Structure 1
Amino acid sequence: MTRVILLIFSSLMLLGCNSEKQSKTLESQQFRPNVLVILTDQWRAQATGYAGDPNINTPHLDRLASRSVNFKNAVSGMPVCSPFRASLITGQRPLTHGIFMNDVQLDTAAVTFGKIFSKAGYDTGYIGKWHLDGHGRLSLIPPGKRRQGFDFWKANECTHDYNHSVYYENHDPERKIWEGYDTFAQTVAAIDYIVGKKTEEKPFSLILSYGTPHAPYQTAPEAYQKRFHPDSIQLRENVPEDMKEQVKKDLAGYYAHIAALDDMVGKLILNLKETGQLNNTIIVFTSDHGDLLGSHGAYKKQQPYDESVRVPMLWHIPERLGIATGKKDALLNSEDILPTLLALCDIPIPETVEGINYKGYLEDAENIDRAALITCVQPFGQWNRVQYGGREYRGLLTQRYTYARDLNGPWLLFDNEKDPYQMNNLVGNAEYTDLQSELENRLSARLKENGDEFLPGMTYIQEWGYPVDSLGTVPYSE
């Protein structure tokens, strides 16, 4: 009898253990994290404390970096505002979604971030700069298809008047102005949105899209501008002598915007912590592209130099997903963000998505050693204060090298380990003939894989029917 009782007791214990395991497995399967994408505009990867910039302290981002996965080699595959944004929300490359220049409209039938997360039961929100509509930078983007599936809306098409910044709210067609410096006001709006979702059963997915630290540089609040004096700015070695005085002034303003943004990141994270949502929220902090800011004699973006194409990329991932923090070497590209987010949220990745799912890589279950493809369709002279041989190009970034060719053949080759400021172009150097040939073959194979014939930029512009001016740029209205 005693033996029978022991057997029954053991069986009950085993059932209990199995039930507990099944319960934990079910809980893990049902866990749906919130998603917060913090998107900045024109923030180059070098310009943070954790990346070693001697000019700026970013204590809040440094703290976030210490608790995140840091893709230290992250790339903006087409370093221009609208192309990156379209790749972010579609998971496609620019020549697929068609947004390879600013101020054109993304196809309203596109399969997008907002639509996918909404279908998966998420509440979706968008705050700040959109730049995917192409119907006038200060115009209303009406509710419906042109908002690409986002439910909550406090956004504008595009403005860089940060102290008199236009936006439209949800279904209200009235033009509104953010109070004060829009970076602060948009942060408050994001916090209000997040707090409002605390008690709801549905998880949220929010893109908070700031316009800063994009120019104009000297427009941050005075308290932040006072922290940075041009005479104290340390320039990168690739800034020409005749530009140094102006670049120091502009960098002082650039860092003032960054310091303000860092404080706002701190406010957002503190709010998530205080509301008990930090451990249930994936946070992606990044930028659409960098800013040359005098490096290589140019300003703004679009060129294949590190200051333009490399972006900050931090992923704060809830502990229960079992992903270790730390630096990662893989060259995560613009179109890879969406599929990786979807996989982490256990949402099926649509067939339209072309980007790589990095979830297995984050879990150390697979290795991804893939060069990042960089593309320019428009000749980019009009994007820079200094003409610097504007041209279309295709290029590859590996963990060590940058290689690009234009329509005439090989153009740039840098050994970024030996030459971190990219001042010694190795194209045609006899010692690097084999390397140049290898990279050219790899680039050709990638272009063939993608169906990119690398034609003159105007060919693509005409194919998509975009009206352009004499500079090859889509004229935009306010």
Structure 2
Amino acid sequence: MNDRRSAKNAVVFLTDQQRWDTTGLHGNPLGLTPNLDRMAEEGVHVANSFTCQPVCAPSRASLQTGRYPAGIGCFRNGIPLPDDVPTLADRFGEAGYETAYIGKWHLADDDVAGPVRPEQRGGYRHWLASNLLEFTSDAYRTTLYDEHGEPHDLPGYRADAITDAAIDYIGRERDAPFFLFLSFLEPHHQNQRDDYPAPDGYRERYEGAWTPGDLAALGGNSDEHLAGYYGMVKRVDECLGRFTTALGELGLADDTVVLFTSDHGCHFKTRNGEYKRSCHDASIRVPTVLSGPELGAGAAPSRLVSHVDLPPTLLEAAGLPVPEDMDGHSLVPLLRGEADTRPNDVLVQVSESEVGRALRTERWKYGVVAPGADAWNTPSADRYVDAYLYDLEADPDELHNLVGAASHSGVVERLRERLVRRMVEAGERPPLIEAPG
């Protein structure tokens, strides 16, 4: 077991369906995230952070394993996390940590809404969670299940209830360091009524408020729901403030690494018939901040970062070795000033809505789809066709698809080759990618 006096505690603070541009860090003018903004000033702002799969279960599988979803078979919702793939809980547990999970899981069998069988809990020992929290809770009704499968009805607004449970956990006496994965549903919509239930009085604060460019241009259902969504973001940031304050009051702040991120974003039915499952930045770009001892203050790495990079970063920041079987790369060497010669891009895999792949670079968004592929049962394909190209410098809201423009054929060709390399590096077979037609 690690020496408790020298080991660093670790916490993941995960929100659900939160766009990057809800934060002051990314220019949102509404003051929704003062606690996250402050955490970034005192820690590390990962300004260019992207999910590697814009849907709940696959993105969460990557955050648990540091692996791409297609590679571990968890490429869509309803596929449980394979029990033979090591998780963060396994890694920290092997190092002598207490491991705990509180909140939404969404990595068990498709027919499981509430209690999760022990073999599907990813190796976590302390357990207070629901597999599909959106179906076992509402804004002011929260039911979570303990490690014995017993229900616990928690009082208050849902995000507050989960935060209270987390503060209770970190305040307990223990002889070992802890790893806590804290998973909120906010600001995800409430499925049963397709609504964004902010705390009482919070929706009203943001009626008619600032609207991001893509939503202003495309609409979707943002006019109806953006105010509630903003209210949920505001409250979860207040929960972050309460949690980090508790770490300080308990004397744990200087010994704890905290990672804040979200599983994916939200495009408000502008790109398809729901909220994610597209490769536009509204779906794939998320806020990400790290804080903790020896990570530096005010650091802001400029490279593009994938969800698969966050588990190795968390392990190394806590002083643990990074396993070679993870697909991602730790950011810690970069924060120490070491050179990073890897290409500055991220690979995105898409399922359910389509079998697709995308490459996000600093300037370009290039994506492909597999014609006729079964997007529910097929993790990948041998043949894809060009689907879109966006110049993010000229068109940050991704409104003008350039994929068929003769003026950009050379760009498409270069990105096509680059995408194939990334797919192969992620363990996929080299695909054929062609122009449509």
**TM-score, with normalisation over the residues of structure 1?**
0.81
Residue by residue, what CA displacement relative to the aligned partner does 1:280-330 show, whole Å, maximum 9, x if unpaired? 111100000000024446541110101000011101121xx2535332212
Q: What code does the residue aligned with 2:157 have?
A: Y
User: What displacement does 1:234 show?
Assistant: 2.8
Residue by residue, what CA displacement relative to the aligned partner does 1:238-279 show, whole Å, maximum 9, x if unpaired? 3377846x4222000100111110110110111111112111
Equivalent of 1:150 in 85, 109, 124? 124
Q: Equivalent residue for 2:348?
A: 374
Residue by residue, what CA displacement relative to the aligned partner does 1:182-229 show, whole Å, maximum 9, x if unpaired? 2101101101111115xx331111010001100034422213223221
Match status 1:224 vs 2:184? no
User: What is the root-mean-square deviation in Å for CA atoms of aligned residues?
Assistant: 2.3
CA distance in structure 2 between the partners assigned to 1:222 and 1:80 by the alignment: 28
CA distance in structure 2 between the partners assigned to 1:236 and 1:274 by the alignment: 37
CA distance in structure 1 between the partners assigned to 2:363 and 2:60 by the alignment: 26
Q: Equivalent residue for 1:465?
A: none
User: What displacement does 1:449 show?
Assistant: 2.9
Taking structure 1 as reference, are residues 36 and 74 closer, same or farther at Cα in structure 2, changes over 3 Å only?
same
Taking structure 1 as reference, are residues 104 and 242 closer, same or farther at Cα in structure 2, changes over 3 Å only?
closer
Equivalent of 1:327 in 300, 304, 308? 300
Residue by residue, what CA displacement relative to the aligned partner does 1:135-191 show, whole Å, maximum 9, x if unpaired? 534332133x222221111101012223223211233x3223222322101101101
Structure number with greater Rg is 1
Residue by residue, what CA displacement relative to the aligned partner does 1:105-147 show, whole Å, maximum 9, x if unpaired? 111222111111011011111000001111534332133x222
Contact residue 82 and residue 101 of structure 1 kept, 8 A: yes
CA distance in structure 1 between the partners assigned to 2:314 and 2:218 by the alignment: 44
- The residue matched to 1:239 in structure 2 has which SS? helix
Q: Equivalent residue for 1:435?
A: 411
CA distance in structure 1 between the partners assigned to 2:323 and 2:183 by the alignment: 24
Q: Equivalent residue for 1:68?
A: 43
Counterparts in 2 of 1:345-384, with a 5 A limit?
345-367=318-340, 368-378=342-352, 380=353
Q: Equivalent residue for 1:249?
A: 224
Taking structure 1 as reference, are residues 237 and 295 closer, same or farther at Cα in structure 2, changes over 3 Å only?
farther
Contact residue 103 and residue 133 of structure 2 kept, 8 A: no
Equivalent of 1:209 in 171, 175, 183? 183
Q: Equivalent residue for 1:475?
A: none
Match status 1:343 vs 2:316? yes
CA distance in structure 2 between the partners assigned to 1:397 and 1:176 by the alignment: 42
Taking structure 1 as reference, are residues 139 and 269 closer, same or farther at Cα in structure 2, changes over 3 Å only?
closer
Q: What code does the residue aligned with 1:83 have?
A: P
Structure 1, unmatched stretches of 5+, are 1-26, 381-390, 457-478
- The residue matched to 1:284 in structure 2 has which SS? strand
**Aligned residue-pair number:** 410
Q: Equivalent residue for 1:444?
A: 420
CA distance in structure 2 between the partners assigned to 1:330 and 1:28 by the alignment: 34
- The residue matched to 1:212 in structure 2 has which SS? coil
Q: Equivalent residue for 1:394?
A: 357
CA distance in structure 2 between the partners assigned to 1:185 and 1:62 by the alignment: 23
- The residue matched to 1:374 in structure 2 has which SS? strand
Match status 1:106 vs 2:88? no
Contact residue 240 and residue 295 of structure 1 kept, 8 A: no
Q: Equivalent residue for 1:123?
A: 98
Match status 1:281 vs 2:256? yes
Q: What code does the residue aligned with 1:146 have?
A: Q
Taking structure 1 as reference, are residues 438 and 324 closer, same or farther at Cα in structure 2, changes over 3 Å only?
farther
Taking structure 1 as reference, are residues 45 and 65 closer, same or farther at Cα in structure 2, changes over 3 Å only?
same
**TM-score, with normalisation over the residues of structure 2?**
0.88
- The residue matched to 1:238 in structure 2 has which SS? helix
Taking structure 1 as reference, are residues 135 and 304 closer, same or farther at Cα in structure 2, changes over 3 Å only?
closer
Taking structure 1 as reference, are residues 218 and 373 closer, same or farther at Cα in structure 2, changes over 3 Å only?
closer
Taking structure 1 as reference, are residues 240 and 392 closer, same or farther at Cα in structure 2, changes over 3 Å only?
farther
CA distance in structure 2 between the partners assigned to 1:420 and 1:112 by the alignment: 35
Q: Equivalent residue for 2:145?
A: 168
- The residue matched to 2:103 in structure 1 has which SS? strand
Contact residue 8 and residue 319 of structure 2 kept, 8 A: no
User: What displacement does 1:396 show?
Assistant: 0.5
Q: What code does the residue aligned with 1:122 have?
A: Y
Residue by residue, what CA displacement relative to the aligned partner does 1:80-104 show, whole Å, maximum 9, x if unpaired? 1000111111111111111111122
Contact residue 114 and residue 132 of structure 2 kept, 8 A: no
